[in-house]
Amino acid sequence: MNQGRKITGGKYHRLRKTRLHERHVQEHIVILGETKKKTLRVRGGNQKIILLNANSANVSTGKEIKKAGIINVLETPQNKFMARQNRLTKGAIIETSLGKARITNRPSQEGQINAILIKE
């Protein structure tokens, strides 16, 4: 059976093109490295800043928020191989200059990394 063809051999034609808001956007992967950001145009003509690489995080210690450098990605709950590739995702446990911390936001959607210090 030829795909896109009728039983008679005629072609199926699309009714309309894909709209801009229906298109799939490529996944943005945030990797440990020197901080690199990118701005995207989103719906309504607004701007969204996304991270491509990052080497620092805003770490909440309970009483205050401090900026700390990221040393390594220790584990990722979604996939252990993502930790080996030093990918920064929500829920990933990272080693910072202040200690171990868990990422609480989605770095691929926002222009920063927020984390909470883990008590050991």
How high is the pLDDT of residue 38?
A: 93
Q: Is the dihedral of CA 72, 30, 51, 58 positive or negative?
A: negative
Average pLDDT along the chain, 120 residues, taken 10 residues at a time:
81 89 86 94 90 96 94 93 94 95 94 92
**Entry pTM:** 0.80
Pick from 35, 111, 120: nearest CA to 102: 120
The dotted CATH code for 25-117 is 3.10.290.70
CB under 8 Å, gap of 24 or more: what pairs does 45-50 form?
48/109, 49/110, 49/111, 50/108, 50/109, 50/110, 50/111
Q: Give the up-direction half-sphere exposure of residue 116: CA atoms within 13 A in the CB hemisphere.
A: 8
* Residue ranges of domains in the chain: 25-117
